[in-house]
Structure 1
């Protein structure tokens, strides 16, 4: 994977991999989990102290605060994903990694110092407040339906609304809240605000148990009543929130692909080891065509996924928002990884559905990945709309050419 990388990035990626395999993997059986099954903050902070000591904490951000390129980030994040605990330990986990990217690109120097610095240093977690409950008629995959509002009141903005599936809200110290403006100057436009958490005006209504268990704080539903935020804590300009969301979401979708590719590489290693050792019907499992072919298919899908990630990373590194490319990558990679994880469970049989290895967890996490950051079907629908627009434009150009 390291071909073409600068020596310092290749060395960092190797250090991350060694740290995850040697230090983090033994923690996978640690019992410090919440009722939801996610690692407790105590466990996360213990791992981060070890990452700090090993020089692999927040490896995707340089000492001067600049971000690695997307291709460089891929190398580091894939390695951190070799354990479900790896991104938490190395501080490359969602939603923090995406939030750090957004604040780093849009935030003022004062906001970076106050809100970004503690995240980069791994001293706390963050949450991104965008999705809203369906039973409230709010924004799910369609942010134009956003019903959470913000209004200007003197030197402050006041926010009211509801949010749901807010990953990591419980226990977070930094929040990015997205709301639709009712102020005349930016009416109808979205705004983003940085807030200190917890805040008494943000009340967590429910934290569900979900199929995935890798993210501390789970995915909360909450109510915001009269949250007062100083105007200086607005992220960027009023009414520009949708634009900033795209700055965050395109690379964030790709980062998910990177981390879960690492998890599936590890699941494949475990499944291969099992298939090469376990004997049935007179030979090892891998020598049975049905099993061997699944592992061969996995090898192909892993390579295809990496190529898709690198292609999308190259597009983002040109400065493009890459919304179309990140949609395609998210669909292709999440579906491929789902097949890989499913094959690994199948190869391992009964062992594959137990917690004796991480394979069953990887299967659950990838299944959830197919939904968050936009379900596969929403991305396909969006791409189909683009295809239709392109067709219409081509027809118009042809007609104009014939008329000329």
Structure 2
């Protein structure tokens, strides 16, 4: 279809130049349902972005919407700080029964504030408090958020530069396969830890993504993650897994680290934990780490009760059994087959991913952005990732139908062909 970009005068006149996604998708969106968005001119778009992973169960999921409407209509508490509410109790009970107990995970639950970077800041702060040390180790091409502590453990040079001040107390190490398998895992890291002349202060913790979403869909091998967990235990460092984008079922299992069999000391969760795209985040940690004093870390919006309502409904609906995980893995195989076909047809392309997060990398780096532009013109929403925006990132809803998924993959293949 042919799409004429609308006049965005009010946005251009009043909204900051920092706006981003609207530049790549020049439409004024009005409605959304399931895996589709609709602009005010009546055009339909198939959404393979899902709110950057915040809409794992689709737009305006009817089950979650009904729970939310019922709660609002009975004047349920909306803002509650960290007061005890019926909505919070229902969420905690559902999270314990559907997620923690079946996985034998011991975690305490903290509500640090509504965003992913709030959860990361809380995790870093707690790790430093527990260990009495400042240094945090992160990995090349990592992304953990845009506040100062999170930026200090983020790899992207463009995002780091926006801080305007030195970002300290963070040390990057090579992510899995950074050297294309030519150097043994953690050789550099262990050498620095054991060398009194290395200049590396003993870290309080290591923070890692099992799949680097913004970094280019870089997938850590289970054995690499297990070796990292063993290294952390051996060297008295806490292991923090940032599961903000890859958790809540994105890779298949509810937590992305389950495949590797590790139990991180701290886990950060956000994006799709509310199920409905509403702001909510969690910091999960082992009970012995819960040394906070009351009120030592807080936030005005750490009690988003409508998000608790939809989160509980999400867990009860989709995570009471293993069906969602099996469905996600099956849809992932569908994506992999399509990407394999594209790469066989198009030289200079590579694919990688897990579950329902996949990346299509282009050796001709600017082509990824061209593919996304053409996909938008054809009615498909996809974005780029990677340090040079060289990867087309696919994040369809976990609830997407096989037919819609196939349609989007055909559209992507067409966009790739037409930008060759």
- TM-score interval for Structure 1 and Structure 2 normalised by the shorter chain: under 0.3
Answer 1 or 2: higher relative contact order, Cα 8 Å, separation at least 6. Answer: 2
Which structure carries more helix by proportion? 1
Tell me the TM-score normalised to structure 1 length.
0.27
